[in-house]
Chain A
């Protein structure tokens, strides 16, 4: 079973920041938080991952709470092409990614 809880769906206006929450209250000390997204009928795309520090790359920012029980993925300026299912996954080193149901993000103009 997936170790994370995400809202089923979210809406965001184009150009605004999209903040996608994820709860992972049972995360272990050596497990990372990964975010992937899947655009319809394509393979999942890696977005970002982190252990305990906040992370930022060209796609997004990842904010992890100090107790590591939850995190937020931030897309700073959402575009229509960001409409996708976003998966928050907790994973230990060397193990396979196990997908939950994810959050369907709909970006509209």
Chain B
């Protein structure tokens, strides 16, 4: 089946620094990737949608200059949390959609802790 990986699986950073999370589709090409955030005991919240080669579309309330998304190839999307603060601590999950079809496949998630 389609496999999506994320790196790193967990990261701790200091307040004010930036951190980059990678999302890769390992055995398929993904024209569209999605980024979600999940706080403890809550559901996944869609942050942004990115299409290869074009600007990402951020959901309402998600600052595009704080959560930078790059989708430079059909197998890689990155999320950079700039000037991270403790309230950005969360579980970040990416998802990739096959170029053909509707299914979304999810990565294992990245746990970010900002101290």
Contacts and interface: CB of A to CB of B under 8 A. Distances in A.
B103 interface: yes
Nearest to B49: A96
A41 interface: yes
B67 interface: no
Most A CB within 10 A of own CB, among B46, B102, B105, B107: B102
Given A44-B44, A101-B43, A93 B106 contact: no
A21 interface: no
Most B CB within 10 A of own CB, among A43, A87, A94: A43
A43 B103 CA distance: 15
B102 A44 contact: no
Contact count band on B: 20 to 34
A43 B109 contact: yes
Interface string A89-107: 0010110111111100000
A41 B43 contact: no
Contacts of B102: 32, 49, 91, 93-94
A42 B95 contact: no
Given A32-B102, A94-B102, A96-B34, A43 B107 contact: yes
Most A CB within 10 A of own CB, among B4, B6, B44, B91: B44
Contacts of A100: 43
B91 A41 contact: yes
B54 to A, nearest CB: 15
Contacts of A26: none
Contact of A46 (B34, B44, B93, B105): B105
Interface in A15-45: 32, 36, 38, 41-45
B4 to A, nearest CB: 8
Interface of A: 32, 36, 38, 41-46, 49, 87, 91, 93-94, 96-102
13 contacts: A41-B109, A43-B6, A43-B108, A44-B44, A44-B95, A45-B106, A94-B102, A96-B95, A97-B46, A97-B95, A99-B44, A100-B43, A101-B43
